[in-house]
Amino acid sequence: MSIDLTQRLKDRVAIITGGASGIGFATAKRFADEGAFVVIADVDPASGEAAAAEVGGAFRPVDVADEAKVDALFNGVAEEFGRIDIAFNNAGISPADDDSIETTELPAWDRVQDVNLKSVYLCSRAALRHMVPAGRGSIINTASFVALLGSATSQISYTASKGGVLAMSRELGVQFARQGVRVNALCPGPVNTPLLQELFAKDPERAQRRLVHVPMGRFAEPEELAAAVAFLASDDSSFITASAFVVDGGITNAYVTPL
């Protein structure tokens, strides 16, 4: 029997937070190409509407750190479309005032934790309310390679938040495995996204210090991460849960990288 891999996600409903740009938008396009109906959830209505129109999906505005708004997003999508099969909890920030622990103040710490970690808790909980009764679903949470390594170019709250995402995803993956819901953490290496470009444009030396440690000699493209997310969302990964799915060009396994 032949399998049409371009339709692995046919008729499934997916919610992508932070879906208007970067990895989220690349994944929205990939999901749509594989047959899913995509709901892009983002804080920016202009870019969110444009992204949804491009993939033939829907846009829903959301503040991912607001419990009521997150619950309204997931409940509304389930009511309108009858199901939620995939939740890609991807929204995140990496602001300039999140730096070394010596200079990062509590407001910056709290803001990053709210958007990067609390949002994954809220979105996962909201998704599980619909996936558990259905007996199926795939949740993919965006962590990072910095959840696995210490970085000398620290973004202390970002690093801590991504470690939390990884630990929480493992626990949820174990807890809900026998209820038909898989939960995995995506751990990207540095990705060529607007977020990274903005950060490194302000500090080219920081970019080079990171790039030299990537064995493949380049940053990832968003589409390469989207392919990994699509795999985790599909039945091709039906025996994968509670995993740290690392897509990093080899950085977490490198001791010395030749120049």
Q: Is the dihedral of CA 73, 8, 11, 237 positive or negative?
A: negative
Q: Are 138 and 144 in contact (CB under 8 A)?
A: no
Contact indicator for 170, 163 with CB cutoff of 8 Å: no
206-224 as b/e: b if 16+ CB within 10 A? ebeebbebbeeeebbebeb
Q: Which of 31, 88, 145, 158 is catalytic?
A: 158
Backbone angles phi, psi at 21, to 5 degrees: -155, 170
Q: Is 255 a catalytic residue?
A: no
Beta bridge mates, 191: 220
The two structure tokens encoding residue 186: 């995506």
SS3 16: strand
Active site residues: 158
